[in-house]
Structure 1
């Protein structure tokens, strides 16, 4: 598996779990709240992807 594919999967998982966690923590179970938090989760996942992609391109990946 390519490193970029793993990074995309991890970022998607981070965004989805983050949105679900925010939805559960808020306690306001409405459609508007779910859509707003899904949008925020997608933004968080995209932000994580671009941030980590920049670190990988610059060669700042930690050694195993």
Structure 2
């Protein structure tokens, strides 16, 4: 995130119907993302599905 040393992690569906907002406010398809692209973000607690907050638990083995 700009102005901090904090990293943001996101898992996005690889589909032509999924878009993100760039730092300039434009919509960009996830399929067109490239390393170094600057995106707008809103720090929040993990666990969202279609924008709705969900309770989740991830177990990795």
Whether the TM-score (by the shorter chain) exceeds 0.5 is no
Q: What's the TM-score bracket when you normalise by the shorter of the two chains?
A: under 0.3
Greater relative contact order structure (CA < 8 Å, 6+ sep): 1
TM-score (norm 2): 0.22
Larger Rg: 1
Q: Going by fraction, where is helix more abundant, 1 or 2?
A: 1
Query: What's the TM-score once normalised by structure 1's chain length?
Result: 0.21
- Greater strand share, structure number: 2
